[in-house]
């Protein structure tokens, strides 16, 4: 009896070892490695938002739902939005306003007036009546009726730059009719010719013809100033 119990116990132990071996094999299959993990990449896995040619911003406060403040096409330089904003007439006006020429009788008017201060002075006023810029070069060349030569020009009155007039603007020149009293013979004139200077210093042939104030007397010691942009500067000499 004792021998049978030992044999039975041995058989049971053998069966238990075999069962444990089978369990271990099954467990290894379930935990078998799937191989090395794939290498990480630098690309983001987040969904990419498509890029558009215009930036879309949030709608302004109070705007209806579903609207946005995306800029309209063609609002930038060269866009279709610029087409039609300037008519041909406006473009022509802009071009003419930037044109530049010499001030002459064709694009200006000239007036002469008597002033109270300083005494024995007249004031020439030149106004640009053209559609573009004009340059008033040097000084006006004056011819009093009955004079044998051009009226003297005061060199010390030369401005730092040529006076340029936009349409509607004015330039001024002062006329001292005489020097110190008793220094020269007085002449009486009723008319005055104003010749415009060119850029090279010569003058145009066609002068502006002016009527002088009554009782205008002058002598050879008088002078005319260069064109000035300020009335006070023209009468300071």
pLDDT at 182: 62
pLDDT at 98: 66
pLDDT tens column, 44-62: 334 444 444 444 444 444 4
pLDDT tens column, 195-215: 999 999 999 999 999 999 999
Pairing of strands 133-144, 100-102: parallel
The domain that holds 211 is classified in CATH as 2.60.40
Q: What's the domain count of the chain? A: 1
- CA-to-CA distance for 70 and 78, rounded, in angstroms? 18
In a domain, 127, yes or no: yes
What average pLDDT score do residues 100-114 get? Answer: 97
In a domain, 123, yes or no: yes
* Listed range (29-33, 202-206, 221-225) with the worst mean pLDDT: 29-33
In a domain, 75, yes or no: no
What average pLDDT score do residues 128-139 get? Answer: 97
In a domain, 50, yes or no: no
In a domain, 140, yes or no: yes
What average pLDDT score do residues 30-43 get? Answer: 40
- Domain extent for 107: 101-234
In a domain, 10, yes or no: no
Let me know if 53 is exposed, middle or buried by CB neighbors in 10 A (0-12, 13-18, 19+): exposed
Preceding amide of 42 cis, omega within 30: no
The residue among 77 and 148 whose pLDDT is bigger is 148
pLDDT at 180: 76
Residue 197 contacts residue 163 (beta carbons within 8 Å): no
What average pLDDT score do residues 7-29 get? Answer: 44
Pick from 162, 164, 138: which is nearest to 150 by CA?
138
pLDDT at 45: 38
Mean pLDDT of the residues in the chain: 74
Residue 166 contacts residue 128 (beta carbons within 8 Å): yes
> Three-state secondary structure along 37-93?
CCCCCCCCCCCCCCCCCCCCCCCCCCCCCCCCCCCCCCCCCCCHHHCCCCCHHHHHH
In a domain, 215, yes or no: yes
pLDDT at 183: 74
pLDDT tens column, 157-182: 999 999 999 999 999 999 999 987 66
Q: Is the pLDDT of residue 12 over 50?
A: no
Largest CA distance in the chain: 176
In a domain, 31, yes or no: no
């Amino acid at each position: 009896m004792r021998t049978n119990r030992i044999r039975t116990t041995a058989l049971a132990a053998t069966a238990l070892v075999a069962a444990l071996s089978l369990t271990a094999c099954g467990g290894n299959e379930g935990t078998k490695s799937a191989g090395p993990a794939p290498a990480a990449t630098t690309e983001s896995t987040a969904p990419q938002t498509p890029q558009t040619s215009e930036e879309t911003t949030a709608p302004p406060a109070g705007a209806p739902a579903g609207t946005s403040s995306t800029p309209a096409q063609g609002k930038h330089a060269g866009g279709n939005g610029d087409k039609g904003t300037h008519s041909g007439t406006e473009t022509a006006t802009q071009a003419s306003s930037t044109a530049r020429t010499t001030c002459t009788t064709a694009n200006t008017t000239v007036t002469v007036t008597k002033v109270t201060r300083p005494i024995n002075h007249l004031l020439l006023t030149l106004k640009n009546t053209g559609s573009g810029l004009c340059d008033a070069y040097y000084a006006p060349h004056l011819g009093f009726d009955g004079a044998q030569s051009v009226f003297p020009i005061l060199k010390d009155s030369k401005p730092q730059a040529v006076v340029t007039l936009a349409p509607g603007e004015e330039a001024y020149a002062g006329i001292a009719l005489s020097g110190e009293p008793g220094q020269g013979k007085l002449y009486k004139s009723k008319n005055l010719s104003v010749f415009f200077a060119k850029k090279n210093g010569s003058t145009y042939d066609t002068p502006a013809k002016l009527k002088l104030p009554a009782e205008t007397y002058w002598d050879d010691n008088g002078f005319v100033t260069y064109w000035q942009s300020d009335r006070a500067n023209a009468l300071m000499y």
